[in-house]
A and B are shown apart, each in its own frame.
Chain A
């Protein structure tokens, strides 16, 4: 009985001491939930939010000896340097061009592929196809880059086949004319199949009766795709497109970093590889943080802009 009484004491205090003890009481009731959340919260605070505070070094002259807080404030100096730097324009342009190719090809191909797979009526065959198409997604970029390198090098399988067919060799690994083309080709090979999953899920929820009705009206397969299948995945396409626009300046750093070599740096250097080069390799921490911050802010504007645009077009948007 006495133990029971003591467990009620916070309640009595709550009435006595106002808001703080009420907060304490809520917290105490939820103590196990807070305990469970603690490691995750700690992770987000330390490795996600501390770096966000760390972007202040973009406005300072970061000095290793002084640390983040004691380094000298320099205002927008590094941002002026960005706009004065002759390389930066080229690097943003490279990023945008590669991103544009990826949206035109790597974003649209999964839509076609998903519709093609959806049109297969035999379930077992469909399954085998999916197993094959999803596979490359699980390979690391090092493995994919390695496979491409081994296949396309000058005495690799592709060039030997071309010679056998009486054609001339192609050089897509170190030729700057083909470099961006090769990057997009790799993304298509690795991620197209994986990209179909969400579309296939949306396609499977289309009412089959619509197709039956269309058949009765004499619509052919292409007509059914145009009038039923495509409208069925329209909102999925829009949502994924918004998300894609939000990351328009993220062009696959890991991949490009692996494929980059001096002979293609002119066309292949993108913002992130530049940040790595200037920051980690050359030690210009403040300047490269400023470049990264600029990229992050543009990304933020892009995703809100795209979301607004989608809503104006009558779609649901992502938030």
Chain B
């Protein structure tokens, strides 16, 4: 009896692990393939094989992209957007979440309802567009930051976390004469570092990756973030957007340029994310289990 069960267990584990490994390969191999192709030589990338490791490495495509101004302009826009946007996202979310976590605050239920309701119903694309236009943000990078300054869901999760902090610590600080600003800065934030790190990561990824607001609100190519450049190069097929002025520089095949642009547009995230994984799983499950 026991023997039969053990062999059943072994079969189960073998099948389960095999399936999981196959699925993991399906997930990761396309990413490695694009990475490898972006460093492959012209002949190799045109051979159309499923390359995971180029036989000769070349940085031809990258040099071509870096030689043009377009890439650095959009990189600068994306970096500014990510830093400034994330700062505003995190500060505004944390402040409102803290205020709504104070049990004695008079308007907390009203504000909570106001936030929750925006998750159920919204004005939609066109009225929002008109408001953004009315506030004078068309063709400004601020249009990619302010209309999405707080994610209602993130704010609710953060408020749940602040509420779970021991009230006695906060009360004793108040008795010692701390105002709300000092309590927030010296007690609440230091105790909430994992969840603040989590939402910083989420907001930063969101800002780095956003492209549709840019299509909606920006007309001027000088303001394009990297994702828009990527869309032009890969999906609209304008690899010649990096119009190199020097006719003596040979043009790498457009496939290599496309692959290299994909790599550049996702590089910081793919590199940084495994190091941050511990934080976001911790932060997210805190919110999920409680909520």
Contacts and interface: CB of A to CB of B under 8 A. Distances in A.
Interface in A27-81: 27, 30, 32-34, 36-37, 39-41, 43-44, 46-55, 57, 68
Interface stretch (B14-22, B57-65, B69-77, B244-252): B14-22
B175 interface: no
A202 B19 CA distance: 22
Interface string A90-105: 0000000000000000
B212 A221 contact: no
Contacts of A117: 20
B150 interface: yes
A139 B266 contact: yes
Contacts of A57: 126-127, 130
B284 interface: yes
B168 interface: no
Contact of A138 (B124, B125, B273, B288): B273
Given A26-B106, A116-B20, A131-B274, A46 B230 contact: no
Contact of A135 (B31, B92, B181): B31
B111 A150 contact: no
B126 A43 contact: no
A246 interface: yes
Contacts of A132: 24, 27-28
Contacts of A202: 288-289
B223 interface: no
Interface in A158-213: 159-161, 189, 193, 197-198, 200-202, 205
Q: Is the interface of B mostly helix, strand, loop or mixed?
A: helix
Contacts of A46: 131, 135
B199 to A, nearest CB: 14
A293 interface: yes
A254 interface: yes
A149 B122 contact: no
Given A32-B179, A116-B20, A198-B288, A147 B48 contact: no
Contacts of A156: 48
Contacts of B19: 116
Interface in B108-132: 111, 114-116, 118, 120-132
B135 to A, nearest CB: 7
A254 B126 contact: no
Interface in A272-319: 272, 275-276, 279-280, 285, 288-289, 292-293, 295-296, 299-300, 303, 319
A258 B232 CA distance: 11
Interface in B212-267: 212, 216, 227, 230-231, 234-235, 255, 258-259, 261-262, 265-266
Nearest first, the 10 closest Cβ-Cβ pairs linking A and B are: A51-B123, A54-B127, A40-B96, A140-B209, A292-B124, A51-B127, A201-B285, A146-B234, A160-B48, A37-B99
Given A43-B146, A197-B284, A258-B231, 14 more contacts: A47-B131, A49-B118, A50-B127, A51-B123, A54-B126, A120-B17, A130-B277, A136-B31, A146-B262, A201-B288, A220-B5, A275-B126, A292-B126, A303-B120
Interface of B: 1, 5, 8-9, 12-13, 16-17, 19-20, 23-24, 26-28, 30-31, 33-34, 37, 48-51, 91-93, 95-96, 98-100, 102, 105-107, 111, 114-116, 118, 120-132, 135, 146-150, 155, 179-181, 184, 205, 208-212, 216, 227, 230-231, 234-235, 255, 258-259, 261-262, 265-266, 269-270, 273-274, 277, 281, 284-285, 288-289
